[in-house]
Amino acid sequence: MTVTPEILTGGPTLPQERRLVTALPGPRTAELQARKSAAVATGVGVTMPVYAAAAGGGVVVDVDGNSLIDLGSGIAVTTLGNADPAVAAAVADQVARFTHTCFMITGYEGYVEVAERLNRLTPGEHDKRTALFNSGAEAVENAIKIARVATKKQAVVAFDHAYHGRTNLTMSLTAKSMPYKSGFGPFAGEVYRAPMSYPYRDGLSGPEAAKAALLQIEKQVGADNLAAIIIEPIQGEGGFIVPAPGFLAELSAWCTANGVVFIADEIQTGFARTGAMFACEHDGVVPDLITTAKGIAGGLPLAAVTGRAEIMDATHVGGLGGTYGGNPVACAAALAALDAFEHGGLIERARQIETIAVERLTAAKAADPRIGEVRGRGAMIAIELVDPTTGEPDAKLTAAVAKAAHAEGVIILTCGTYGNVIRLLPPLSIPDHLLVEGLDVLLAGLARH
């Protein structure tokens, strides 16, 4: 039976199959691509030759009726699965009651409840406060504002390969020029960069890498000037780089000893994605502030800064906010999503996905030296592709393998400073058979190149 896109409803009841009924792009998608080129700014790129009609479980169905395996989750956002029924019901209910008041004018319970839940779910038993925003970049900006007010210092340190967003301050924190920063300067002042622990390339232990980073920070910035260190516990866009054990803990301890705010940017790693509620739990680190977004609300735009009450409350009344921050519809979605993260067995599911993916990818690595490393945690797993003789990053091969997977109906994303990392971010609702099929398509494409 051919399913016409018009009658499709998304969510987990969509047929869980890879099914191509046209070449990609299909004719309706091609029409939309032409309209996009004429109407949408060129700077906004679209990776896949696909325009979505419905999505759920582990598939995205396009406007031509092609059903693709989703190994990207819209960049780690639909962790729960697209159009999750509980999220959809919570959104429908809230939309029918009220859609906006502006929390800074008249409050509502959903905002307060999201804050209470985040205060409870994030690492550490200390007294916490939360503020809500619209996007990850906005949360990062606000975390820096808060750290500066609380410490009365200005400098901020970010790391090599870091990604923190596309606004002016967050571009400044982001490491990679192309495509995120190139031509968009001048950038914000008082932002400094330190070396990241990258075990595959630097060969250093966590404490050794931390020592090098802290020496550089002490010499080039000085703790007396430093408000905050911001770091992704596992780097996302930068290449799914998992720092060596002990790196994060040493940085965090140094921050505590030196009156510097330690900010964990868990926008990509948060909410069960890595097989823990938050990735810094793997390293036993309790951040002072934590930024969240992406997976928090089942696909609706919401972001948060959560952290120590004495730091969060250092800001004067009225100093934080925004028209839409903590929108009631997004909060309703987040409460449904947080229920699932807490009680839905998703941490366990992320670990199962890790087992399946790592087993297959490690077997492939043993047979193919172009896979330099298999790394990541939970449902955040990557392979780094290299020239086997020199170890040099192979971005060309990476792009070709991604393109081959796309043509066969598998949504996969690349990342990495050197563009040579294929990253897997499947929704946790993906059935095993689709995960395995997606990996098989990916690896067959690699074998052909």
| Residue numbers at the binding site for ligand PLP (CB under 6 A) | 135-137, 140, 163-165, 232, 236, 265, 267-268, 293-294
Closer CB to ligand PLP, 285 or 364, in the complex = 285
Q: How far is the CB of 143 from ligand PLP (least distance, A)?
A: 10
Q: How far is the CB of 381 from ligand PLP (least distance, A)?
A: 16
The Cα 115–Cα 118 span in angstroms is 5
- Which position's Cβ is nearest ligand PLP? 136
Q: Which residues pair with residue 158 across a beta bridge?
A: 193
Least gap, CB of 142 to ligand PLP (angstroms): 12
Q: Which class for 189: exposed (0-12), middle (13-18), buried (19 or more C-beta within 10 A)?
A: exposed
| Closer residue to ligand PLP in complex, CB, 267/374 | 267
86 — alpha (psi -120 to 50), left (phi > 0) or beta? alpha
The CB density around residue 237, as the number of other CB atoms within 10 Å, is: 24
Residue 88 CB, nearest approach to ligand PLP (Å) = 21
Q: Measured from the CB of residue 54, what is the shortest distance to ligand PLP in angstroms?
A: 23
Q: Alpha-carbon distance 266 to 213, whole Å? A: 21
Residues 292, 232 contacting (CB under 8 angstroms): no
DSSP character at residue 393 = B
Give whichever of 60 and 293 is closer to ligand PLP, judged by the CB atom.
Answer: 293
C-alpha distances out from residue 76 to 36, 85, 130, 305, Å? 24, 18, 22, 18
* CB nearer ligand PLP, residue 136 or residue 416: 136
Is 300 or 442 the residue whose CB approaches ligand PLP more closely? 300
Minimum distance of ligand PLP from residue 163's CB (angstroms):
5
432-448 vs 395-407: helix crossing angle, rounded to 10? 130
Nearer to ligand PLP among residue 63 and residue 293 (C-beta): 293
What does the buried/exposed string (b/e) look like for 43-73 if buried means 16 or more CB atoms within 10 Å of the residue's CB? eeeeebbbbbbbbbbbbbbbbbbbbbbbbbb
* Cβ(241)–Cβ(198) below 8 Å: yes
Smaller CB separation from ligand PLP, 293 or 356:
293
Q: How far is the CB of 165 from ligand PLP (least distance, A)?
A: 4
